[in-house]
Amino acid sequence: MSDTKPVAVEAQNNTLGIISLVAGIIGVILFVCCSYISVVLGIVALICGILGYQQKQQYALAGIILGAISIVLGIIFVIVGQVIFRELVPVLERELRF
């Protein structure tokens, strides 16, 4: 018989990495219909990803990348939406006059 003691294995905390990944995925999915929400979710993913990456969490790098993509796509679609809206309103006003 040997006197071996059980070794406690500490579970790794991946909360920030997972939050970053989920926020980044949802932000990338929503950039077409909800550009403002996409930018906010991208910022959340970026911040949580950076904090998680500093703590060596698993999914943090993926969250950082998806957060940056979400921010860029969201800003592009906000600008494109504003330009289209600005060009479309005078045309609609002209066409809808009786």
- Tens digit of each residue's pLDDT (9 = 90 or more) over 66-86: 999 999 999 999 999 889 888
Q: Is 8 domain-assigned? A: no
Q: Is 32 domain-assigned? A: yes
Measuring CA to CA, which residue among 33, 28, 20 is closest to residue 73?
A: 28
- Tens digit of each residue's pLDDT (9 = 90 or more) over 23-62: 999 999 998 888 899 999 999 999 999 999 999 888 999 9
Q: Number of folded domains in the chain?
A: 1
Q: Is 43 domain-assigned? A: yes
**Domain with 83 in it:** 15-95
Terminal-residue alpha carbon distance, the chain: 98
Cβ-count burial of 47 within 10 angstroms (0-12 exposed, 13-18 middle, 19+ buried)?
middle
pLDDT band at 20 (very low <50, low <70, confident <90, very high): very high
Q: Is 7 domain-assigned? A: no
